[in-house]
Chain A
């Protein structure tokens, strides 16, 4: 257990509304990631962070923004949710990041439905 929690776990919202998902870790790890999982696509990286206030885009970043003001929290924001953003969102952490090519450990996921 890598001490990762996500909130909320389930959310239903309407098109055009802003949505923020939170990922919280208790182990002080430097690297954090947001993925979305959709049938037929596996998991795709949205954004990642390599430290407080240090973030970068992943494979599918359009329509998403992130913030990391504290080591333990990584927020994913959908500024104006669309139905194409209906998905399961996973947060992940990497224990040491680049240097040791560590695996990533995943949170429990957030199921988001945009109507």
Chain B
């Protein structure tokens, strides 16, 4: 079965702290994507990870991919309130059609 699991589902953290969101998936893939969604809004693409060991960084967010462990992480450094949102990872298990399987999302709240 093709599954993508994220944890934690809910995360409340103080400004200035660091934390990591985990994305595990069930079957080999080297195509993993991270998105951000603000309440009532659409999804915004954050990172595209296409190989084992890939690391991408943008501001206070850094994403990495370990295809052997079937694990991606989204690390948040020195959180600020503007990072409050729901974060999704998505995996493309297929070689055709670019079909994404999404995790259930991590709802992040950064408290001043």
Measured CB to CB, the residues of A under 8 A from B are: 31, 33, 35, 40-45, 48, 50, 56, 58-59, 90, 94, 97-98, 101-109
Contact = CB atoms under 8 A, between A and B. Distances in A.
Contacts, number: 60
Interface string B78-107: 000000000010101001111111111100
A101 B43 contact: no
Nearest to B33: A103
A56 B94 CA distance: 13
B48 interface: yes
A105 to B, nearest CB: 7
Given A41-B104, A42-B105, A98 B98 contact: yes
Given A43-B88, A107-B42, A102 B98 contact: yes
B12 to A, nearest CB: 18
A112 B96 CA distance: 30
